[in-house]
Structure 1
Amino acid sequence: MYRSAIFLKITLLFVLLILPGAVACYAQNSKIDSLSSLLKNQPQQDDRRAELLLLLAAETMKLNPKQALQYPDEVLAFQNNIKDKKSVSGAHRSKAAIMMYLSRHPEALESYNNGLSVDKSINHEVGIAAGLANIGLVYMTQSKFSEALKYFLPALKMQEKLKNELNAAIVLVNIGIVHTEMRDYDQALKNYEKALPIFKKYKHTLGQTHVLSNFAILHMKNKNLHEAIKYSKQALQIADSTGDIRTAARENGNLSGYYSELRQPDLALTYGTKAIAVNEKINNKKSLGFNYQNFSDAYFQKHDYIKAKSYALNALKIAREVDVADLKRAASLGLSEVYTAMNMPDSAFNYYKLYKVTSDSILNDEKKNEITRMGMQYEFDKTEAVYREKQILAEGQLKQQQLQLALNRAELQKGLQQTALQKALLENEKLVSEEKQKQLIISQNNEKLQSNKLNLLSQQQKFDQLEIRQLWLYGILAIVSLLTVLIYLLNLSRIRKLKFANTLQLREAEQNNLKLEHQYQLSESELRAIRSQMNPHFIFNVLNSIESYIMDNDKRTASRLVQKFASLSRLILENSIKSLIPADKEWKALRLYTELEAMRYNNSFTYSFEHAPEISLSTILLPPMLIQPLIENAILHGIIGQAITDAHISVTMEQLEQTLIIKVSDNGIGLNSTSNKTLVNVVKEKSIGLKSIRERIKLLNLQYPGSASFSVEEGPEQRGTIAVISLPVLGVGSGEI
């Protein structure tokens, strides 16, 4: 079954800072009418008329960008009459924003640069910060990420300096988008996490929805679809509460893709219906094409092939109109699968060829884009490094200036202190002369006192030296005793460690021997499984069938048989070198084998492969070639040669807690049937495949005790046979692949 194509687009945020403190307006016809009335009452070409024209442009742009273009053009036409030049720079930015809506990027860049020049001439810092951010947005829209970063970083610095938290948050989101495009998801997440609290603080709902949507995209890229759904639903809830239909359409489409990817078709259809309704209304063809493809995938999962085909054809039609290669590839692969399920091999083959051609084209484009992205990554890193070096240099210069200022202050203070010190020295000299006379008398008395103290000190020193010698002796004895005890304990510990290490080595050797023996048994079992699956009898029969179709001049059927046989052989050879493989590969090999057997026996039986919706085949592991012998026994010993008109083989997979339950059932002669009972039992008992299964189940239980089992039982009403294999749930990374 083909995988759905999720339509996800990283949203771009930008804000027009036309006037400081300008009031945000909503797209309402009543407001436009009110502004138009005020404009009629203000015919004079002055600052007031310029302000009204810019407000009217901001409102009209949301409904009709081409019509809105006339208003900033009129302001620029009489810009010489305008006293407040902030309105002139605002007119340039308004015109640039309209050009962005119309995807006329060179003209948008020119208008933003014109506005930035006006703001710099009047030193309007708010306008300069807005101009830098908007120029960076133009470059980011054109995927020139290194150029965009050159403008975003200084814009962020200015917004933080101006303490404009809301605009700083918007720039943070745009920088996060640049990091997302450059695949630096951790840095992108940090920027989004900084911006979200600011948007919540100012109740900026549009910013909140964009951040939540980008959170969802990051989790999708990391294959965490449940977290992606959580954030996408939060964005959708905000969009619905504010009446933002474009954001609501985008998130409904994303949720449809997420649920389709999780194999939950009903939820995919529910959200996809809402997205299609809005996208048809606003004529968003590209989004509509991805919505149709998600619908096709959902109906395919529900086995409604007629509707799946219809929506896939609509998606392919739109892909060709808007020339979207990813959508064309998904739609052509979907149609190939649908026609295969409808047993229309010719149509399936034609669309499969279209899928391969489109895939090869995309692969070539992706290689070119990867080379371009690597070059852009180099420029991106170089730009960021240069900016950081400039920032460090500027901070160093500022610190140097601060230090110089502090040094000047210190020198001034030092001069004042020296003046005060000179005055104090003059006073001190007078006091010193008086003090000398007093000291002379005191020194004479001290000499006598010192003589007595020296005698006492000499006696005390002799006594102290004796005590110190005794302390040294006791200390040396204590150290020697302590060293003796430590050496004994260290030797004792070393002997114990050597004994323990020797014991561990013996145990490891025993475990390695057991592991090697287990691996040898497992390899022998897998080799027998390969021989069972690709036995010479099966290969001979398939080649005979191919020869028969060629002799009957049925080259198309022979070609299909050769292709499927080649695909099956390649899968078996690829899977045979691994102990555990992704379940989707094993599932595909089983379907190819069963389809070959059905074609070889002229479609004398039908078959079905089903698994529980919550099971993601690509994320779990299965032992290769474990289930195929059960299908072979069901065909050869249960159905073929028994003249059963409604012969059917069913293969199902279910998950019960941490156990996978795989059933292979048929409605053939059964275990206890008297018809050919002796022959059947003899063949089944001697089957190399069943013996291999039992051996591999035994080996799995050695590795995962009690987690695997195998049983064969009679079908309902004593008709047919049901073989059941229980295996542990092993995710990618939990076993050898």
Structure 2
Amino acid sequence: MTNPLTNFLPANKVSLEKKELGHLISKPLLFWSLLLLSLGQSHAQRSKIDSLESELSLHATYDTTRVNLLNELAFSYFSQDLITTLKYLDQSDSIADVIHFKKGQARSIYIRGITEAIQSNYDQALDYYDEALEWYKTANYQAGIANCYNAMGIALSYKGMPREAIFYFKEAIKIEEKIGGKNLSAPFINIGGLYQDLGEFDQAVFHLKKALAIAEANENEQRIAYSLNNLGTVYDKQGNYPLALEHYKQSMYMNEALGDSLGIVNNITNMGLIYQTQKNYDKAMKCYERALEIDEHNNKKKGICTALNLIGTIYEETGDYPSALSHYAKALRLSKEAGINTVIPYIHNNIGTTNLALKNYETAIQSFIEAKKSGLEIESKAAVSAAYIGLAKTYTTLKAYDIALNNALRAQEISEKSGFLEDQKEASEILSRIYEATGNYKNALESHQQFKLLNDSLFNQENFERVAQLEYEYMYKQQLDSANIRELKLTQTVLTTSQDLANSRQNYLWAIIGILILSIISGATMFYQKFNAIKARNRQIVTEQKLLRSQMTPHFIFNSLSVLQGMILSKEENKSITYLSKFSKLLRIVLENSRDKMVPLIQELEAIDIYMALQNIDADPSYDYSLVVDESIDSNLLLIPPMIIQPFIENAIEHAFGSSQEHCEIKVNLRWIGNELNCTITDNGIGIDTIVQKSGTRKNSLATIITSERLELLGKELRLPGTISIEDRKKYQAQGTQVSLIIPYKLVEHQ
């Protein structure tokens, strides 16, 4: 039995440092819905678990199937109920041990590693992963080996060993790409998160976008949500707050539907950061406290440290410094006990900032030094940059300008290389103060100008959505006021009309009614015309999308790959190489042609020729086919719609010939009839009438419907005829079917 989700993902990224985010637009409704949703599982997740438990109750035999069911149930529960997860794992272990089911034992050990990792027991988790890895290697189960490498990378990343973690993620990617596994998005998500922590944002965005594309192709909603959220944190750190918020919101919607409590915690935390930025501290505190409650229930120590740290920042910003230091101390103690090195430098920075506000300068300096040291150990450029800024601020306050200058310049260097706009702004501001205090007014002016430039840049990014919303609200209010004025005027008109009626002046009323009716009719006419235009554009877009989905059907691709696999297994090397070469060339041509509305006729004919050659390589009996192009047609100068002929050849191959027919023939003929480009596709099969009699209905194929729509639309656009007709050849005293196409065309424009 296969598991629907066979890989463990880390928690979504959340900011661990106290910082000023941009002014972002949030929806309070999302806040409350997230809190309610985090209390339980989604209906879909609950249905899946119920289905597994029902299947388990029906399968009483102690065999490999029961072991797989128990492991799958354990995995389904791990993000919500660790006690139930461990219960199912104990049952799985006992059965797998008795029946000597190695793969089942390895899966159980692997999931145990996940349960330890969630509780931040990373050394214990790594021991489990090592043990599972050996079992999987013994069984030569590549997917399991890839899962272990990915999980080991996660544990090492949380231990503050990013380069070692990246190595294991890359090993997982190699295996997943080799076996074509559906878990390929997981290591890409994880490695993208690490590059973000290292301040290498280009690499982070590259890997996370790749993860998102893979997850979308596999329709894996959980990993789509993780990818979106982690991309949001990258944009957040770069100061692109509107783009970050958009990714956060998309991730929230998906995690709501999935009922993923671990994902929801991080979504709640990100919402808290947004409220905190808006100085809405009550809502931000509710978010952080709810996240803390869920993480404490799951014994997720890293999440607990994060929540405590963020609650501390609320107290710090509201001036309650003792409470802030108390929460920072708890977070620091727990992170050290659990070995969660990735959190430690951020907590030290926050302790330093609070002590700076309290004028405890020596303590502040020591905290920033500790933050710098621990940040360098885990290669977190964000933490190190923040530490240098904290030291620069402290030494500037103490008027130790030489030391302050050195730290400010280091912060500026790191933040410029890594793209931390907020840190660049702060560094420029501190440098301006230092240069002014030391009499270096030229540099002071330059630094101040740089500060203003960065501040304006951040303002524009932070307020982009807010400005858009204000503009929208203003326009709406303006329209509402205008409507009220019109309504008032209309009311006055009605009153005047009533008075006129009293004075036997009904002609004014009829004039007003006539004007209103004419206005309504003209407005309706304009609306109808615009509606038809939009409808026509949408129809064209839908038709083009149908074309893309119909090209190179999955049935053909699956059959082609199956044929190729058979050749390889039969060790027909030359034949398989020829087949693969033609197949890859055909795919390339189809993909290239799909980008354009019109392609050269010679490219379309080449695609048809390769397609028929592929069909013939393993066909028994083979098809006799021919492509005849009238001498008056220059196939290099003529442009036609792509994939307009191939679907009918495919229809002929799939439906035209009976299983006992020995000689199969398909002919394609292109010629001019007047100014019309005519294409006929004929076969010597059983004929369309016989096919209709067998099926009992004359239902048009998808290819026929799509092609008919395309020909109609293109014909209107090019002002040329575009039609399709299908006939049984018995009317011409022949056997088979004939498809006749009149194809709209264009001539290549000479440069």
TM-score computed with the length of structure 2 as normaliser: 0.41
Larger radius of gyration: 1
Higher relative contact order (CA 8 A, sep 6+): 2
